[in-house]
A and B are shown apart, each in its own frame.
Chain A
């Protein structure tokens, strides 16, 4: 992948992220977040994670952001303009962010992991077709043999073959979330 594109995408992600953090208007923030997530999704794409990129857009940039915007609108939250900024909080926030970034820099530069790149660790699709063996579905092996990465199929296969239990738990979790939302935002039927 061209470096330039990576830097562009990183800039989009981090830049809009920065706007989320600094934006005074919640709506701006929400929209910036959506934009940042789109950039992130593109980074996922550059990492050959097409399915993840898709649901990042669908779920995050789509559903979650809509939810945020909806709530912001619903509550009619004003911008923080009139409010004083909490200067110590800002300073400490920035300080911690800088420190954390420095630490991550140090860790990344200190590990051998950092050297891996798409160029020196290419996907080996056709060999994989042989190695995956019979366990996988034929459609996956066929795609692999054809030299395309059946990303969604592979994730789906992993999820439903191995992580069936987890899926159910997550399903339960979503249900709990639903119940929670109902419980927490339900209006009182009878005034006391």
Chain B
């Protein structure tokens, strides 16, 4: 079975679920959700055992699809996050349905499948056309998902903001693609890399195109100064969608960014130094602009949004550090590693948020007061999640940051390193503000919070993943190792 079959099947499953809902409107949403989860899980299993070489793809796909380790990793990543988002949707369903039309959630189960397929295609893209179409598939789906709970003013506002800004970024992206194409005469990453390594290529046009293209992609990954949509949209969107955006969409954006940068920063690239400097500046700025305003947030959801911005900053900085000879992970590998660690901690955070909402509580820090008393387990798990987000050692988050910082130090990017350190230091403040709230004893008259065993299992699994990745990252590193090797070969 080829990977493409799985991807297509996933999209198809999305359509089937829509049809099921259409023809059997009274179907229990839990059934629908579980079907989606089961389907995705099946896809994941099949994906693991599928053939992982390009030759196994259908012929018409072969020129457009690459199945290197990075692509495979991100495909798996997309499947995992989709499963988790679907689960999160089920958890959040009790309150989400209050804001959806007729209390229906069917599209919340089917669209993620299509998004997942889109993200998997993005991961394999070898040219800008593929990037564009799959990116748009994802983006348009997200327009719908963000505004899905449209009876909530927040969700709708987030939808409008995401729509306008997203469309603007699409325009910028296409304009950038046009100029890159104009400068290099090709839209495939390999071709672009080849052209950029050729000194005869027009440098100004290439720089101009690359700059605009990176602006467009920067929007997707929330790089400063294109991050301004993130807090509003993340806060307004339904929590599962926020999780999906902050993990899935961002990861997909970073995959594409990795691919594009692999081309732009190819050896002897005529625009290499400029783009690298841009990345350093943007990365530092992003880390800071994510961290500094986060200190004043009262809503945990918005806080997580800002945190996600600053994480994007670290990821950009990781991308700016190209070859690290003394590292088994290339920049792409570090990014992948970071994202892999970022997944469980962010999802766990959002899961906690969703559970709070589902139990009739708010999303503000003050609503977290006394959580440790009401549900010690949840408080513990959330603490793990936030500790990891803050980058505390022995959690997954620390290793990711460590690799980034090591890379920066290895290349001597001290300015960027100091910005990252300041951002991380600020991070301690706002993450622990929330943790502290959970453990305060004041205002604990609220009733105990009950979790189903399945929820506990999923949340526990995520926490364990954070801790295991934090102390035993070897398997993950191994998984990502060939990725760096192939890229090193290509570079």
Contact = CB atoms under 8 A, between A and B. Distances in A.
Direct A–B contact present (CB less than 8 angstroms): yes
B334 to A, nearest CB: 30
Interface in A159-186: 162-166, 169-170, 172-173, 175-177, 179-180, 183-184, 186
A111 B205 contact: yes
Give the dominant DSSP class at A's interface: helix
Interface residues of B, number: 37
Interface in B91-107: 101-103, 107
B129 A166 contact: yes
B140 A173 contact: yes
Contacts of A110: 204
A188 interface: yes
B182 A172 contact: no
Q: Is the interface of B mostly helix, strand, loop or mixed?
A: helix
B177 interface: no
A166 B130 contact: yes
Given A180-B143, A188-B102, A113 B182 contact: yes
Nearest to B144: A180
B111 interface: yes
B140 A162 contact: no
A192 B99 CA distance: 11
Q: Interface range on chain A: under 10, 10 to 19, 20 to 34, or 35 or more?
A: 20 to 34
A172 B63 contact: no
A168 to B, nearest CB: 8
B167 interface: no
Interface in A95-138: 107, 110-113
A116 to B, nearest CB: 10
Nearest to B15: A175
Given A165-B64, A188-B102, A180 B205 contact: no
Contacts of B318: none
A107 B137 contact: no
A163 B205 CA distance: 27
B102 A176 contact: no
B137 A189 contact: no
Contacts of A92: none
Given A111-B205, A113-B202, A186 B144 contact: no
B63 A111 contact: no
Nearest to B103: A192
A184 B147 contact: yes
B205 A107 contact: yes
A190 interface: yes
Interface string B140-165: 11011001101000000001000000
Contact of A169 (B102, B107, B134): B134
